[in-house]
Amino acid sequence: MSVTRTGKRQIDLTTVDLVFKGGRICTSLDLFEAGIAVDQGRIVAVAKEPHLPNASRVINVEGKIIIPGLIDTHSHLREPGYTYKEDYETGTKAAAAGGVTTTIDMPNTKPPTNTVERFEEKKKLAQAKAVVDFGHLGGATQLQEIGPLVKAGAFGFKIFMQERVDYPKDALAIIDDGHLYQAFEEIAKTGVIAGIFGRNQEINDMLVKRYKEAGKTDPISYYEVAHYGNNIISTTAITKSILVQRSTGARLHVHHCNMGEEVEIVREAKKKGYNITAEANPKTFLMTRKEVEHHGPYALGGALRDQDVEPVWKGLNDGTIDVLGSDHSPHSREEKERGWKDMWSSIGGSPQLQEYLSLMLTEVNRGRIPLHKIVALTSENVAHIYRLYPKKGTVQPGADADLAVIDLKRKTVLKPGYSKCGWSVYDGREVQGVPVMTFVRGTQVMNEGEILVKPGFGQFHTPMFDSYFETKKP
């Protein structure tokens, strides 16, 4: 394909595969009128309509906005081992329906993704079923596997600092401080992220024991423990991780940065120049105690104190929080239902992949956050942090044509979607702002909620390095 430029920067291309015209484009910086030309799966031009090339297919998106497809940093797709809750086909169909073009899967499966052999097995499972592009995080419990996992393509590591039924000690949870330090040391050599689920095991266990002895096992008691003492369970763990980051030089990424004190700790660490990024999850700051009182165990796994909500919004808008991840974590109704009487025997988490873009677009319409900030939080920042930029996360020539077309004005009522678990805590909630088309590498994978490609269309992606073991720190 030839490209020539005149003094007016007019682009002259031979016929391309696809052209979008008539709409607007939103990047992390601006919203503007322009069209997009796509050929062989990549963007080849972004220009005003008179300067776009001829195309085999033209899509008129008048009245709509094109954004980079979302890169979800926090997808629990449950395969292998927990496929009664979700699998790669159902989970990535939910992603495509929600404007997500790449999912980054978590390692708390059965068996956990903490060896290269298991990583490769998981990749094969996803390649056979995924309808959007994908990658994986690894577990960091086996120190000798950290380097090889990065060579195999891991985007980074998820370190669970608290043991739970789906991340047991030694398999995925790292409780011992010496083990934690060594894991950070090994990850620092690779240049990928050391992601943490920051929780203090000992304080958590003490509080759970106290509540159980008092006969408090209901969902509200579970919620109270999670936020006890100004969020002491999480703040002590995050503070410790920041100190370990400073000592080892690893790239620290704080998953679940959803509480006021957590946001402030991260903000201060950034001011001091520490190499730290943070992720928030919409299901937390969009749900508070009142949702727990109504939905019980279905709302647990993130609902905030009322006083945490505004600090999180401030962090999203001022750049303290870098990323929005869905924390898509489906569970069966049976697992949830037992939480009404004994939440300690239940489990937190809920499906989010299909819903979270519409939930955030609703907040854009309410004036809580600008659209360009949503693009940064869900696409461009993610691509930088996970070393996918500029291949993904951006609308510019040379990038994969991973795009979501959104109708910011359309209203709809959410209902359970493609997720295998079959329920949604947002069932019946009205939203304004809907993804109507999703494209992965220039191929339309979703139209008005209908999935258009077969399982196996999605491709595996890895971080882009000059070398997996760079001497230069990121």
For residue 403, the cross-strand partners are 68, 439
- Predicted pLDDT of residue 171: 86
Are the beta carbons of 13 and 45 closer than 8 angstroms? Answer: yes
Do residue 304 and residue 264 come from a single domain? Answer: yes
Q: Residue 436 has what DSSP assignment?
A: E
371 within domain boundaries: yes
For 31-42, the pLDDT digits (tens) are: 999 999 999 999
- Cα angle 78, 80, 86 (rounded to 5 degrees) comes to 30
Q: Phi-psi category of 281—alpha, beta or left, where left has phi over 0 and alpha has psi -120 to 50?
A: beta
Do residue 330 and residue 426 come from a single domain? Answer: no
C-alpha span between 50 and 398 (Å, rounded): 21
pLDDT at 209 over 50: yes
Angle, helices 228-248/201-213, rounded to nearest 10 degrees: 160
Query: What is the domain extent for residue 74?
Result: 69-385
Do residue 63 and residue 73 come from a single domain? Answer: no
C-alpha span between 178 and 21 (Å, rounded): 56
Are the beta carbons of 283 and 352 closer than 8 angstroms? Answer: yes
- Predicted pLDDT of residue 301: 83
C-alpha span between 309 and 288 (Å, rounded): 8
438, two tokens: 């999703």
74 within domain boundaries: yes
Q: Average pLDDT of 84-99?
A: 98
pLDDT at 169 over 80: no
Do residue 35 and residue 148 come from a single domain? Answer: no
Do residue 81 and residue 108 come from a single domain? Answer: yes
Domain boundary among 353, 385, 417: 385
Percent share of the chain, pLDDT over 70 = 95
For 44-90, the pLDDT digits (tens) are: 999 999 999 999 999 999 999 999 999 999 999 999 999 999 999 99
Q: Average pLDDT of 151-163?
A: 96
A 10 A CB-CB count for 274 gives 14
Do residue 322 and residue 291 come from a single domain? Answer: yes
339 within domain boundaries: yes
pLDDT at 470 over 60: no
For 122-153, the pLDDT digits (tens) are: 999 999 999 999 999 999 999 999 999 999 99
pLDDT at 468 over 70: no
- Predicted pLDDT of residue 367: 97
Do residue 80 and residue 56 come from a single domain? Answer: no
Q: How many domains does the chain have?
A: 2
pLDDT at 10 over 70: no
Do residue 86 and residue 216 come from a single domain? Answer: yes
Do residue 63 and residue 85 come from a single domain? Answer: no
254 within domain boundaries: yes
CATH number of the domain enclosing 428: 2.30.40.10
Percent share of the chain, pLDDT over 90 = 91
pLDDT at 2 over 90: no
320 within domain boundaries: yes
Domain boundary among 357, 385, 413: 385
Do residue 158 and residue 216 come from a single domain? Answer: yes
Beta strands in 114-264 (DSSP E): 133-136, 138-139, 156-160, 193-197, 251-254
Q: Report the chain's mean pLDDT, rounded to a whole number.
A: 94
Do residue 249 and residue 349 come from a single domain? Answer: yes
For 300-313, the pLDDT digits (tens) are: 988 999 999 999 99
472 within domain boundaries: no
- Predicted pLDDT of residue 329: 96
113 within domain boundaries: yes
pLDDT at 440 over 50: yes
Domain boundary among 385, 411, 430: 385
Do residue 300 and residue 320 come from a single domain? Answer: yes
Q: Which residue has the higher pLDDT, 353 or 5?
A: 353
300 within domain boundaries: yes
For 228-251, the pLDDT digits (tens) are: 999 999 999 999 999 999 999 999
Residues in the chain, total: 474
pLDDT at 93 over 50: yes
Which are the contacts of 287, defined by CB distance < 8 A and separation ≥ 6?
299, 302, 303, 304, 425
Q: Average pLDDT of 275-290?
A: 95
